[in-house]
C-alpha cells in the first residue's frame, strides 16, 4: 500500500507541477500575444512551427514575463512537492524532493532545448534561480505538509522512537514511554 501511495503521490505532484507551470507560461502567451487577429491556440501553434518567430517573440518580451515563468517553475515545484508529500503520507520530504528534482531536470532540459533548437538564451538570473530554487521550493512544500498534517495512519511509526502509533494516536499498553524533547 505504501508503494502505491508513493507512486500515486509522485504522479499527482508531478501532474500538478506541470499544470501550474503551463498556466504560468501561458499567461505570457495571452498577455503578450500580437494583435494580428489570431487566437491564442493559433499563435502558439505558429510559434512551434517557426523557431525564428519564437525567438523574435521571446526576445520582445519584457523582463516581467521572464519573472512570471520563473515564478511558475517555483510555485509548480512548491505545490507539486506539497501534494506529493500529502498523498504519499510517509517519507514526505523525500517525495517532495522527487518532484523538485523532476522540475529541476525539466528546467535544465528547457534551457538546453531553447538554446539548441531556437537559439534563445535565458537571462542569467533566470538560469541561476531556475536551477537553484526548484528543489528547495518542493522541499519547503513537503515540510509544510509534514508540519500541518502529522502522520496518523495506522502502522506508522513515530520518527524519534520508531515506535508504532495507533490511528487515533493512543499509546498501547506495554509500550515504553516516549522520550520528551
How much is the pLDDT for 154? 46
Give the confidence band of 35 by pLDDT, cuts at 50, 70, 90.
confident
Using one digit for the tens of pLDDT, what is the confidence trace for 12-33? 999 999 999 999 988 888 888 7
Percent residues over pLDDT 70 in the chain: 83
Q: Is the pLDDT of residue 181 over 80?
A: no
More confident residue, 61 or 103: 103
Give the whole-angstrom CA distance, residue 8 versus residue 2: 10
Q: What is the mean pLDDT of residues 43-60?
A: 85
Using one digit for the tens of pLDDT, what is the confidence trace for 109-150? 999 999 998 889 899 999 999 999 999 999 999 999 999 987
Distances (CA, A) of 151 to 34, 73, 158, 164: 50, 28, 9, 12
Q: What is the mean pLDDT of residues 21-48?
A: 84
Q: What is the mean pLDDT of residues 85-97?
A: 93
Three-state SS at 24: helix
DSSP 163: -
Query: Any residues with CB less than 8 A from the CB of 54 and at least 6 apart, and which?
Result: 47, 48, 118, 120
Give the confidence band of 160 by pLDDT, cuts at 50, 70, 90.
very low
Q: Is the pLDDT of residue 176 over 70?
A: no
Percent residues over pLDDT 90 in the chain: 55
Q: How many CB atoms lie within 10 A of CB 114?
A: 17
Amino acid at each position: 500500500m505504501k508503494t502505491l501511495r508513493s507512486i500515486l503521490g509522485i504522479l499527482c505532484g508531478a501532474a500538478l507541477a506541470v499544470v501550474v507551470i503551463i498556466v504560468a507560461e501561458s499567461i505570457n502567451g495571452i498577455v503578450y500575444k500580437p494583435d494580428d487577429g489570431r487566437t491564442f491556440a493559433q499563435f502558439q501553434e505558429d510559434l512551434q512551427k517557426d523557431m525564428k518567430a519564437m525567438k523574435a517573440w521571446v526576445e520582445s518580451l519584457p523582463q516581467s514575463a521572464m519573472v512570471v515563468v520563473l515564478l511558475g517553475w517555483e510555485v509548480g515545484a512548491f505545490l507539486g512537492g506539497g501534494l506529493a508529500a500529502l498523498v504519499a503520507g510517509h517519507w514526505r520530504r523525500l517525495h517532495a524532493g522527487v518532484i523538485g528534482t523532476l522540475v529541476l531536470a525539466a528546467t535544465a532540459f528547457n534551457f538546453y532545448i531553447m538554446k539548441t533548437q531556437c537559439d534563445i538564451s535565458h537571462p542569467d538570473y533566470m538560469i541561476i534561480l531556475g536551477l537553484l530554487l526548484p528543489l528547495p521550493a518542493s522541499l519547503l512544500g513537503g515540510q509544510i505538509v509534514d508540519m500541518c498534517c502529522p502522520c496518523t495512519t495506522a502502522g506508522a511509526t513515530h520518527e524519534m522512537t520508531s515506535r508504532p502509533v495507533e490511528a487515533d494516536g493512543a499509546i498501547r499498553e506495554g509500550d515504553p514511554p516516549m522520550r520528551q524533547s
